Amino acid sequence: MPYPQTQRIDVVEEQFGVQITDPYRWLESDAGRAPEVAAWMKAQDEAARAHLAELPGRDRFRALLSDLFDHERLTAPTKRGDRYFFTRNGGLDNQAVLVVRDGVTGPDRVLIDPNGWSEDGATALAEWSPSEDGLRLAFAVQDGGTDWRTIRILDIRTGKVLADRIAWARFTSIAWAKDGSGFFYSRYPAPGDDGMPQAQLAGHAVFFHALGTSQDADRLVYATPDLPHLIHIAGVTDDGRYAVIYSSPGSGGSAPTVVDLTRADWPSRTLVADFDNYWSIVGNIESKLFLTTQWGAKRGRIVTLDLGDAEPHFIDLIPEQAAVLNDAALLGGRLILAYLADAKTQVLGYRTDGTPDGIVELPGIGSAGGFSGRAADSEAFFVFTSFNAPTTIYRYDAAANSSSVWAAPKVTIDLDAIAVEQRFYASKDGTEVPMFIVRRKDIGDPAPTLLSAYGGYGISMIPVYSPAQLAWVEQGGVLAIANIRGGGEYGKAWHDAGRLRNKQNSFDDFIAAGAYLKAEGIAPEDGLAVQGESNGGLLVGAVVNQRPDLFAAALPGVGVMDMLRFDRFTGGRLWVSEFGDPADAADFQTLLGYSPYHTIRSGTPYPAVLATTADTDDRVVPAHSFKYVAALQAADLGDRPRLLRIEPRAGHGGGKPIKRAIEEIADMWAFAAHWTGLKT
């Protein structure tokens, strides 16, 4: 098909003795300041949408997705005093509303409804946190999908928003002081007037905002000017005794620092100085901290540290298990630990002296976590979900070790008709990799298959209920989720085996998954599509270049596609600890070997490619997808299309209005269905 014309410019740079051409670097310019980029974006998006509008399955998928999303979705409540705070989406609301309930079974009252904040529905409620007494609530506003936040404060009794306004918050939590006098949050310095939206971020710091004061008076709590590219996230222990700050380079590990809030000078004490392992403070009993760590235990363990000791040191409490420690909470005087065993959850209870104290029964095989409650309160909440089990909120009684349904959605799809199985396949080097396969019970082999994975940052692809994915399954397609290396399914070792100079293992695992699906007769020979977003978008771009013959269609979303320049934009410097540093000679060779923008194989037939991004994504800037698609369109790759769909006023995915999300998914699934032969 004919594509909009894309200008090529003469940019050639030598890096470590290698000549690197970058003819589409001009597409890195911000469209708001570069009319030529804005015109190119418009032409590309119009061409893509014109093609997508002609696909026969698009209307069917749009209607089906609307039906599958149309059920009430709640988050687990946060209890403060006698009030319970949670978000609720009635089904097709563009944005979820924030609700408060007086008493666990009392009437609901809407506190914040962001659906009226903008005409296009793209302004969303992001992070939020109620004060300890339940009288005030700090909440963050996200506009157009950006990672930037503006924090405001609501008086819960009157419903009025206070004058306090916090700007330039990003990668932040909101953690109230015990007395409700203010809260901790994280921000970057305000950019200058000539600051570019894509400019590299540096100088993240934790501040304390006292109610009723100007942001200029906020107290700097923690920063690392000598390490300006770290991010710092703050929390406060249940008893209000300590602020806890986690510092991280973005991947690989975190270093916890504790701030003693009982002293007026708020002295800080860094517990771990390096970033080699992830640490998390589960809770405390007076000066004794309970922590999860991968230090000396790549699948996780529980240790304690008593800050009241003359020479505090870590003491083993609950040793590493065969399964991976995935979540932990101190509730009702018990430790509740959620483990991943082959990417499925099991929950165990322990006394605070480390002795086993039973199991927490789950309703089936799936994913459970997000335990929400207080260390001194026996009441808590958690979430359970699976591929064929809608996300359900359970109320947990820690004293009785019993659970009951607190909120369960009613869905229209017949979940008894959906089959879920887990298989294991061998990767290129013989490593056994698990993969979930989801399909209707009446679907025989082979059938058009959608293969997805992530494979980065230690993030596990666990069983979750997804109306988007079920739309593909309901129409007779097969969904395959591969738990490739780079994720956290088997702990730190599994993550490390797919990051930095081991990144090719992730791609080998994904390619092996596709080959397995065909060899086993699950996917037809020309009926396999691949899909992934962000790091998963990089994954899709890389494997398509390495094995274009394996796939009929590819759906890379908001992907990191230029691995030689990713660190130059917004928060990209945070990814060096995951991918490597383009300025390091050895890392450069690894990155160049798989960078999707640089490894396109002209003269080779390629699958159909629909790349998706957003015009204002300020995490993975859209220039990654722009340059990648421009290079695809310029290469000799056969007759199948290479298209670029650009969502307006959207970011990396968070805060996207549900109606626009449905439109985008319908386009993606219709495109994949057309090229894999799925009949809708």
Residues belonging to the active site:
534, 652
Bridge-based pairing state of the strands 367-373 and 608-614? unpaired
Residues 6+ apart with CB under 8 A from 534: 454, 557, 558, 559, 560, 619, 620, 652, 653
Residues 6+ apart with CB under 8 A from 234: 173, 175, 184, 185, 186, 206, 221, 222, 243, 244, 245, 246
Q: HSE, CB side, 13 Å, CA atoms: give it for residue 652.
A: 18
- What would the two tokens of residue 419 be? 């089959």
CA 122-126-130 angle, to 5 degrees, is: 140
The dihedrals phi and psi of 612, each to the nearest 5 degrees, come to: -120, 140
DSSP structure class, residue 189:
P
- Burial grade of 377 (CB within 10 A; 0-12, 13-18, 19 or more): middle
* Nearest CA among 343, 339, 400, 342 for reference residue 371: 339
Q: Do residues 273 and 293 lie in contact, with contact meaning Cβ atoms separated by under 8 Å?
A: no
Q: How far apart are CA 147 and CA 390, in angstroms?
A: 28
- What would the two tokens of residue 557 be? 């979303």
Tell how far CA 59 is from the center of its chain. Answer: 29
What residues does 532 pair with on adjacent strands? 556
Tell how far CA 153 is from the center of its chain. Answer: 26
Q: How far apart are CA 87 and CA 112, in angstroms?
A: 9
- What would the two tokens of residue 532 be? 């992934």
- What would the two tokens of residue 468 be? 């988007």
Bridge-based pairing state of the strands 608-614 and 553-557? parallel
CA distances for 590 relative to 542, 546, 613, angstroms? 12, 14, 25
| DSSP assignments along 220-285, one per residue | EEEE-TTSTT-EEEEEE-TTSSEEEEEEESSSS--EEEEEETTSTT--EEES----SS-EEEEEEE
Q: Do residues 589 and 617 lie in contact, with contact meaning Cβ atoms separated by under 8 Å?
A: no
* Nearest CA among 569, 560, 558 for reference residue 656: 558
Bridge-based pairing state of the strands 182-187 and 205-210? antiparallel
What residues does 138 pair with on adjacent strands? 129, 153
Total residues found in the chain within this entry: 680
478 three-state secondary structure: strand
